[in-house]
Amino acid sequence: MVMEAPLSRPGSSKAAARAAAKVAPSSAPPALTEIPWTRVDLDLYEVARDGYIVGYVEVVGAVFVALGGARYDRAVEVSQHLTFHAAVDVLVRRAF
């Protein structure tokens, strides 16, 4: 069984603002969310935080391997996860 993470796409700030307004209507402006990953290859995703590459997620069968590092050829395995979002979360939290 081959698992594939969702395709990358730019997030809509208007859609994020509408969704945030539905959840918690208040006078404060809604927080916009950033999609921290971009699909690079069929089984490879690049993860960034604040515009800097912090690692990669490689799909290996049913496992998502989190690789830490700005360059793919020098990235080091950080952890393995059963969900794509858990692997991305580890890399984003690990950065800086």
pLDDT at 10 over 50: no
Decide: 76 and 68 in contact? Cβ < 8 Å. yes
Residue tagged 């698992």 (tokens): 3
Q: What is the pLDDT of residue 69?
A: 94
Residue 32: how many CB atoms within 10 A of its CB? 12
Name the strand (E) or helix (H) holding 86: helix 84-94
> Considering the chain, what is the average pLDDT of its residues?
78
Structure confidence by residue, pLDDT tens digits, 22-33: 555 555 555 556
For the chain, how big is the Rg over CA atoms in Å? 15
Q: What is the pLDDT of residue 5?
A: 52
69: its two tokens: 């590092």
Residue 73: how many CB atoms within 10 A of its CB? 5
pLDDT at 40 over 90: yes
Split at pLDDT 50, 70, 90, the class of 50 is confident
